[in-house]
Amino acid sequence: MAPHPLDGGRQEGRGRRRRDQPPRRERDGGGEVRRPQAPSEKRRASSGARQAKQSRRRTQLDAAREAVRPGQGRTLIEGRRPIVEALRAGRPMDRILLASGAGRAALGDLLDLAQRRGVEVQTVPRSLIDAEARSGAHQGVLAVVAPIQPIGLTELLAAPLAGREPPFFLALDGIEDPHNLGALARSAEAAGCHGLIVPRHRSAPLSAVAIKSSAGALEHLPVAEVPNLARAIEQLQASGIWTIGLDGTADTSLFTLSLADEPVCIVVGSEGTGLHRLVRDSCDALVHIPMSGQIESLNASVAGALALFEVHRRRHPPP
C-alpha cells in the first residue's frame, strides 16, 4: 500500500526544524539550558586564549633576556671546553645557558660537572645566545661567571718555588688581539709555564674571546698584570730569572740558546711592531727563529709557541 501523502511528509520532515521554529538549546549536566555561542563570542574567546598565550611567551622571553645579562661583577664565557675547564678550576659560576635545540648528548661532561657543582642550567632561545656571543663559536652554550682576577707579579713569582722545575714564565708586550693572547696562553699552559705576565695597557683583555681561544687554559694559568713591562722585567731579573726576547733582527738563534734549564721568561712582542724599545733593551738576551721561506716573520702566537716548546724540549729531552 502506498504511504499516505501526509505520512510521507511527516517522515521526510522528521528531524528537521522549520525556519519559524526557535533554535534548540542544549542542556548541561545540571539540567540548565545553554545558549549556543554566537560566532562573535567564539572569536572573542579564541582571541583571549591567543593573547594569554602571547603574554606567557613574552614573559618567558623577558626572563630569558634577563638570564643572559651577566649583571654587575659578572661576565660571560662561551663554548663547551672553556666552560668545562671553568667548572673544573672551581671558578665562581652563576648559571649555564643552553640554546634551545642544543643536543644534550654532546654536553654530557659539562652537564655532569654542573650538577656536581650545583650550577643552574637554563634553556633560552638560540637567538639570544647568538646575540650575546662574541667569539663566533659558542657551540650553543654560555655561562655567567666571575671575571678572571689577575694577580700581582710578586705573588706570581712565589708560585713556582714549591715546584721541582726552575721558574718558567711568558711575558706579552703589546699583544692586543684576543685570539693571539688566548692562543699564547694555551701554548704556555701546555708547555708547562708557571704563569703569564701582561701589561695593564696595550694588551688584549681577558675576555670571552681570549678564553675561548685558549680552550680553557686561562682557567688554569695564573696571570699577573703589571703597570710597566720594562720594570717588571727588571723585577724578574732581580729574582734570578733570565729574560729572553723574540726579535727577528737578533743575531742569536733560538735553537742555540742554552738557558732553558735556568729560570727563564720568554718575552713576545706585538703582532705588528714586535718588542717595544724599552722592553727590548731590558731583556737579557734577544733571539730570532731561523726561517727558510720567503716570508719575513711568523704570527706572534706561532713564534711564542715555538719558543715555549723549545724550552720544554730542552727541559724534557726524549729518553
Digit-coded pLDDT (tens) for 154-164 = 999 988 766 67
Tell me what the mean pLDDT of segment 292-318 comes to: 90
pLDDT score recorded for residue 156? 95
Over the stretch 165-177, which tens digit does the pLDDT of each residue have?
Answer: 899 999 999 999 9
Tell me what the mean pLDDT of segment 90-110 comes to: 85
Domains in the chain, start-ordered, CATH in brackets? 68-145 (3.30.1330.30), 153-315 (3.40.1280.10)
Tell me what the mean pLDDT of segment 134-150 comes to: 88
pLDDT score recorded for residue 70? 76
Over the stretch 66-99, which tens digit does the pLDDT of each residue have?
Answer: 777 777 888 999 989 999 999 999 999 999 999 8
Euclidean distance between CA atoms 32 and 47, whole angstroms: 27
Does the pLDDT of residue 58 top 60, yes or no? Answer: yes
Does the pLDDT of residue 21 top 70, yes or no? Answer: no
How many degrees, rounded to 5, is the angle at CA 268 between CA 135 and CA 318? 95
How many Cβ atoms are within 10 Å of 280's Cβ, its own excluded? 18
Euclidean distance between CA atoms 298 and 318, whole angstroms: 27
Q: Compute the mean pLDDT over every residue in the chain, rounded to the nearest whole number.
A: 84
259 pLDDT band (50/70/90 cuts)? confident
Does the pLDDT of residue 181 top 80, yes or no? Answer: yes
Does the pLDDT of residue 51 top 80, yes or no? Answer: no
pLDDT score recorded for residue 108? 83
Beta bridge partners of 301: none
Q: Which three cell numbers stand for residue 277?
A: 724599545
- Reduce the secondary structure of the chain to three states and give it as a string: CCCCHHHHHHHHHCCCCCCCCCCCCEECCCCCEECCCCHHHHHHHHHHHHHHHHHHHHHHHHHHHHHHCCCCCCEEEECHHHHHHHHHHCCCEEEEEEECCCCHHHHHHHHHHHHHHCCEEEEECHHHHHHHCCCCCCCCEEEEECCCCCECHHHHHHHHHHCCCCCEEEEECCCCCHHHHHHHHHHHHHCCCCEEEEECCCCCCCCHHHHHHCCCHHHCCCEEEECCHHHHHHHHHHCCCEEEEECCCCCEEHHHCCCCCCCEEEEECECCCECCHHHHHHCCEEEECCCCCCCCCCCHHHHHHHHHHHHHHHHCCCC
Tell me what the mean pLDDT of segment 212-233 comes to: 95
**Which of 32-46, 206-220, 254-268 shows the lowest mean pLDDT across its residues?**
32-46
